[in-house]
């Protein structure tokens, strides 16, 4: 029942080609066809935010939220008779959050069932890579479930390296089929008292998209990448518990168009400044047919203080225009066809800065041989409308 401003966490898914070979490479003797463990990652994060523009109460009120997230990822691999590498990736995530804004779906309740919830999201994917020919294909699926929302996702992907292996083109086609419970604010429910306490059924929304990228090693120091996404959504694209208050003080649930088309275009550049410093930069331009345009710029520097320890400061700047259907509390006219007071769709600028610490000792972290990496990252996020958040994460990798 939440809607997090997690462009923050966002820092932290066809064409199938023939991969058969007529001859077996000479190095296949040591490539095991038995399924083997590759690595496992354990990631935990704590996210907290505050602000005073909750969409649940019409663009005013507390946005206080706390989220504790844990996920485990396991990768396995083997090779087939034609020396193609198969990688199997399994992940399970569990989030627990408390939300002051969701607690206000019932304005008269001291604490409702919406105050806290859990989200469970397992996923699995498979990739087959032909190292000799420099190409791969893959597919995967996912499920995300919480009290009022369930989503089923799937994707297929492919990649192909250039003849000299210095460039690579990749693509992914994906879809998410979502089902949302229509839980309206208590005062906007109809029927008898007992009926108002019951659920009002469900509604769907679908997302279909394609992502394409081309990466190029320019020289031993510079690497570039160009990114393009195309995303189409249809169905119920608002949330049933987001209130809107009009100029005459009347109240409704937000109403948004049933279709949306998004096109983000991005560019990455990584520069190796000697043996101890890597500069990573990123820019993205976004536009959709609701009238929203945005610009994102990100700079991250990885500084190796020793062969086994590095620090990674980063900074992110973001700015966007408002969608055509946004207005603040009591600013919408009753004649408006579409309306929302969700400040995620308003005009704003934001900044995020922080740093990561990464430890990879050859004998293992804390002397544990198979624990070969520990990383801690912290980020602080602010919007110019007063909303702010903090996130800290811990990543342990076993090999």
Domain for residue 10, yes or no? no
Is 0.75 surpassed by the pTM of this model? yes
pLDDT at residue 19 greater than cutoff 60:
no
- Of 16-20, 237-241, 311-315, which gets the smallest average pLDDT? 16-20
Domain for residue 373, yes or no? yes
pLDDT at residue 208 greater than cutoff 50:
yes
Residue 61, sorted as left (phi over 0), alpha (psi -120 to 50) or beta, turns out to be: left
pLDDT band at 199 (very low <50, low <70, confident <90, very high): low
Buried/exposed 282-308: b ≥16 CB within 10 Å, e otherwise: bebebebebebebebebebbbebeeee
Residue 147 pLDDT: 87
pLDDT in tens, 28-67: 456 788 999 999 999 999 999 999 999 999 999 999 999 9
pLDDT band at 189 (very low <50, low <70, confident <90, very high): confident
Residue 196 pLDDT: 52
Domain for residue 1, yes or no? no
pLDDT at residue 111 greater than cutoff 70:
no
Residue 244 pLDDT: 97
Domain for residue 370, yes or no? yes
pLDDT band at 4 (very low <50, low <70, confident <90, very high): very low
Write the CB contacts of 7 (distance below 8 Å, at least 6 apart in sequence): 318, 350
Residue 105 pLDDT: 78
Q: Where are the alpha helices (DSSP H) in 50-192?
A: none
Give the integer Cα–Cα distance in Å for 332 and 139: 45
Contact 207, 175 (CB under 8 A): yes
pLDDT in tens, 212-221: 999 999 999 9
pLDDT at residue 17 greater than cutoff 90:
no
Other CB atoms within 10 Å distance of the CB of residue 66: 15
Give the integer Cα–Cα distance in Å for 190 and 196: 6
Domain for residue 314, yes or no? yes
Domain for residue 369, yes or no? yes
Eight-state DSSP code of residue 114: G
pLDDT in tens, 113-156: 456 889 999 999 999 999 999 999 999 999 999 988 999 999 99
pLDDT band at 22 (very low <50, low <70, confident <90, very high): very low
Buried/exposed 123-146: b ≥16 CB within 10 Å, e otherwise: bebebbbbbeebbbbbbbebebeb
Q: Which domain holds residue 281?
A: 40-398
Write the CB contacts of 52 (distance below 8 Å, at least 6 apart in sequence): 60, 61, 62, 63, 386, 387
pLDDT in tens, 328-363: 999 999 999 999 999 999 999 999 999 999 999 999
Residue 76 pLDDT: 97
Give the integer Cα–Cα distance in Å for 354 and 6: 15
Give the integer Cα–Cα distance in Å for 200 and 129: 47
Domain for residue 18, yes or no? no
Domain for residue 31, yes or no? no
Burial of 385 from C-beta contacts in 10 A (0-12 / 13-18 / 19+):
middle
CATH at residue 337: 2.40.160
- Count of structural domains within the chain: 1
């Amino acid at each position: 029942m939440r809607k997090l401003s997690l462009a923050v966490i966002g820092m932290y898914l066809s064409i199938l080609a023939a991969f058969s070979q007529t001859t077996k490479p000479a190095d296949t003797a040591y490539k095991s066809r038995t399924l083997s463990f590759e690595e496992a990652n354990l990631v935990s994060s704590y996210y907290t935010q505050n602000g005073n523009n909750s969409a649940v109460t019409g663009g005013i009120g507390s946005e206080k939220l706390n989220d504790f997230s844990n996920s485990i990822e396991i990768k396995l691999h083997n090779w087939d008779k034609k020396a193609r590498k198969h990688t199997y990736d399994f992940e399970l995530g569990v989030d627990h959050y408390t939300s002051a804004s969701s607690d206000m779906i019932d304005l008269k309740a001291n604490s409702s069932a919406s105050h806290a919830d859990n989200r469970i999201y397992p996923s699995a994917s498979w990739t087959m890579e032909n190292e000799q020919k420099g190409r791969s294909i893959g597919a995967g699926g996912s499920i995300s479930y919480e009290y009022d929302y369930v989503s089923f996702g799937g994707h297929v992907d492919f990649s192909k390296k250039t003849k000299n292996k210095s460039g690579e083109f990749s693509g992914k086609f994906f879809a998410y089929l979502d089902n949302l419970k229509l839980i309206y604010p208590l005062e906007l429910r109809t029927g008898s008292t007992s009926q108002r306490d019951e659920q009002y059924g469900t509604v769907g929304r679908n997302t279909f998209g394609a992502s394409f990228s081309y990466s190029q090693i320019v020289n031993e120091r510079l690497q570039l990448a160009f990114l393009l996404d195309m995303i189409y959504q249809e169905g119920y694209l608002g949330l049933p518990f987001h209130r809107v208050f009009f100029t005459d003080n009347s109240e409704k649930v937000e109403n948004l168009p049933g279709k949306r088309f998004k096109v983000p275009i991005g560019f990455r550049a990584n520069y190796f400044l000697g043996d101890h410093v890597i500069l990573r930069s990123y820019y993205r331009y976004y536009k959709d047919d609701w009238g929203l345009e945005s610009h994102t710029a990100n700079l991250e520097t990885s500084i190796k203080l020793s062969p086994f320890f590095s620090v990674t400061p980063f900074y992110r700047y973001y700015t966007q225009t408002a969608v055509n259907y946004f207005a603040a509390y009591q600013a919408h006219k009753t004649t408006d066809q579409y309306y929302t007071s969700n400040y995620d769709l308003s005009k704003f600028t934001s900044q995020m800065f922080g740093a990561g610490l990464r430890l990879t000792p050859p004998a293992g972290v804390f002397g544990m041989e198979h624990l070969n990496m520990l990383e801690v990252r912290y980020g602080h996020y602010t919007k110019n409308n007063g909303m702010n958040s903090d996130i800290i994460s811990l990543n342990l990798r076993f090999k």
